[in-house]
Amino acid sequence: MASKEPKPTVEPGSTRPGIDRELYTPPFLQLANILRQQIAAGVFRPGDRIPSETQLSEQYEVSPMTARRALTMLLDDGLVTAARGRGTFVKPLELTKATFGLSALEELFGGEGTSVRFLSVKTMPATARISGKLGVALDDTVISIRRLLLRNDSAVAYHREYLVFDPRRPVVEAEMGITSLQGLFDGKGTSVLKCGELKVQTTVLTEEEARLLDAGAGSAAFRIEHIFYDFQDEAVSWGWFIIPGQYLTFSASVGSRGPSRGSHGGGGASS
Amino acid sequence: MASKEPKPTVEPGSTRPGIDRELYTPPFLQLANILRQQIAAGVFRPGDRIPSETQLSEQYEVSPMTARRALTMLLDDGLVTAARGRGTFVKPLELTKATFGLSALEELFGGEGTSVRFLSVKTMPATARISGKLGVALDDTVISIRRLLLRNDSAVAYHREYLVFDPRRPVVEAEMGITSLQGLFDGKGTSVLKCGELKVQTTVLTEEEARLLDAGAGSAAFRIEHIFYDFQDEAVSWGWFIIPGQYLTFSASVGSRGPSRGSHGGGGASS
DNA sequence: AAGTGGTCTAGACCACTAT
DNA sequence: TAGTGGTCTAGACCACTTT
């Protein structure tokens, strides 16, 4: 068992950051942040090879697995590439590796003062298009829903949705939270849905949409199409949101701006 | 040397899938896929607790670290949540957790038959807006670039960009690949850029943009704004792409549709 | 042959939760 | 007190690349 001798993590005079065992952030995260920092500072430039697992594990006095974990983290972040037998290299910036999430929607729909106004809820025979999307027979009964999402009494989104109608099971929408759509955003109450596919497109408001959304016809808007499947792999819901462009911007970032998120707690980096 | 004794991974009669040591896919991935499969099949439903690390490591005869790695994988996928001291639970579907990549841009710009036509390259004094974005003084010299991105001789994107002009260093654009922008998409040649921020918005084509892009004025388009920083954390480039909606759709999926990489049809291997 | 990334083992300690 | 997740150790083997 290792003794607790006073071993300085860095030599006196060396300003190189080391692993602080007393710190709250775990060593693998500290090391990952150190490397991120060095890459961001230009110590390692795109194309450069960064120290190997063994070098890192010796230099920072951690086990190989811990060093490896830090490297894996950078790998997942897309900051470096690993070539077996050759080394790990800093990746140059790549625009197409950026990703954006729907968190902007959360702010739109999830905050305070949001409500839903139903425009119509009815059953109807499936059209060819609906039948194709939901995988039901033509003219089979489906549920059609049109609603407005309001924030502070002003409409920010128009939602159109078609649901399979199966009298044998409880109406799906009941479990999805028909009154609020909330379940899909806060992750509570969608226990019947297994997975879904989303598409983000751009469109201009039709006359009807413009009237409902209190915006100008012909102005720009996002169209977010969705289709959800249950655990039998059968489509359950198909529809789309229309959201005027003024209410929504998606953000993303590429490259490293220094130490970032961790598994728990913030990242307090020194110097 | 380890002996090669015949040790059955599953008991005879049990149809439960096990870890196949002879397989090419590593055990941690096999286990992750098995769990993904079970979640997708509804064996574990949203809210259910899945087996603990120790249970998994015993049941599938792998080390705790390996079991843990499979669980970490599901965690990163957002399929489960882990509560220390309580267990690991299947997460219900959450719409806002979907992430979209910009790989759709790759197809637009990265494929064969893509080229660039320059409309104008010139220097100019920074306007208030440009000065604010690039962090240069008002009326400082910046480079203005306007170009069209073509695919098969038809314009698919209009790009407008402003670059800081620093006579002391080589013109940045030279390193970015002024003739093709290619570097930003294939990840070669952007060694001076550290990071960037992107915004995805929706807009309608102006008269000028419509003429250049050979589309109808007033039709829908994406506006992808970008700003890039160098390793001194100074803004280097600010600009935006205008891409008609017909050329671009962003896709994403939520939830689990089964194993990400197929092939784990093991069954009772050596029994 | 040496170095490197990728993976795995068989434990261990800690903090937290539930009983 | 027992179970669980989170982390760490100090090795090991393999496939691959470079010298």
Sequential DSSP letters for A64-104: HHHHHHHHHHHHHHTSEEEETTTEEEEPPP-GGG-EEESHH
Would you say residue A81 has pLDDT above 70?
yes
- The pTM of this model reads 0.86
Residues A236 and A111 in one domain: yes
Report the alpha-carbon distance of residue A154 to residue A115 in Å, rounded: 10
Residues A110 and A241 in one domain: yes
Residues B174 and B140 in one domain: yes
CA distances from B268 to A67, A216, B30, B263 (A): 36, 64, 14, 15
Give the CA-trace dihedral at B214, B215, B218, B222, to 10 degrees: -100
Residues A228 and A128 in one domain: yes
- Is B6 part of the contact surface with chain A (CB cutoff 8 Å)? no
User: How far, in Å, is the CA of B63 from the C1' of nucleotide C11?
Assistant: 9
pLDDT at B5: 37
Report the alpha-carbon distance of residue B175 to residue A10 in Å, rounded: 38
Domain limits for position A80: 27-95
CA distances from B21 to B9, B60, B259 (A): 9, 11, 18
Protein-proximal positions, strand C, CB < 7 A: 3-12, 15-18
Residues A124 and A239 in one domain: yes
Residues B110 and B180 in one domain: yes
Establish if B10 belongs to a structural domain.
Answer: no
pLDDT at B17: 74
Establish if A230 belongs to a structural domain.
Answer: yes
More confidently predicted of B17 and A5: B17
Which residues from chain A sit within 8 angstroms of residue B107, using beta carbons?
none
pLDDT band at residue A216 under the 50/70/90 scheme: very high
Establish if A22 belongs to a structural domain.
Answer: no
Residue B229 burial by Cβ neighbours in a 10 Å radius (0-12, 13-18, 19+): buried
Establish if B13 belongs to a structural domain.
Answer: no
Establish if A252 belongs to a structural domain.
Answer: no
- Closest CA–CA distance from residue A200 to any residue of chain B (Å): 5
Query: Structurally, how many domains does chain B consist of?
Result: 2
CATH of the domain at A84: 1.10.10.10
Q: What is the pLDDT of residues A184-214, one digit of tens each?
A: 666 565 677 899 999 999 999 999 999 999 9
User: How far, in Å, is the CA of A28 from the C1' of nucleotide D7?
Assistant: 9
Question: CB B196 to CB A255 under 8 A?
Answer: yes
- Is A98 part of the contact surface with chain B (CB cutoff 8 Å)? yes
Question: Taking CA atoms, what residue in B is nearest to A244?
Answer: B202
Coil, strand or helix at A9: coil
Residues A134 and A88 in one domain: no
pLDDT at A166: 79
**Which protein residue has its CA closest to C1' of C9?**
B63
Establish if B271 belongs to a structural domain.
Answer: no
Percentage above 70 pLDDT, chain A: 80
Would you say residue A262 has pLDDT above 90?
no
CATH of the domain at A207: 3.40.1410.10
Contact, B30 vs B73, CB < 8 A? no
Establish if A256 belongs to a structural domain.
Answer: no
pLDDT mean across residues, chain A: 84
Which residues interact with strand D by a CB < 7 Å criterion?
A 2, 26-29, 61-66, 69, 83-86, 263-264; B 50, 52-55, 64-65, 68, 71-72, 75, 82-88
Residues B75 and B110 in one domain: no
Percentage above 90 pLDDT, chain B: 59
Give B35's contacts (C-beta < 8 A, 6+ positions apart). Answer: B44, B50, B70, B71, B74
Protein-proximal positions, strand D, CB < 7 A: 3-12, 15-18
Sites in chain B below the pLDDT cut of 50: 1-14, 175, 178-180, 261-271
Report the alpha-carbon distance of residue B108 to residue B79 in Å, rounded: 31
Residues A147 and A216 in one domain: yes
Residues B118 and B186 in one domain: yes
Residues A141 and A40 in one domain: no
Question: CB A47 to CB B201 under 8 A?
Answer: no
User: How far, in Å, is the CA of A83 from the C1' of nucleotide C3?
Assistant: 13
Establish if B139 belongs to a structural domain.
Answer: yes
* A 53-72 → B contacts, CB under 8 A: 65
Give the closest of B93, B218, B250 to A190, CB-based: B93
- Give the residue-averaged pLDDT of A177-181: 52
Residues B70 and B200 in one domain: no
**Tokens encoding A60:** 């920072």
Which residues from chain B sit within 8 angstroms of residue A253, using beta carbons?
195-198
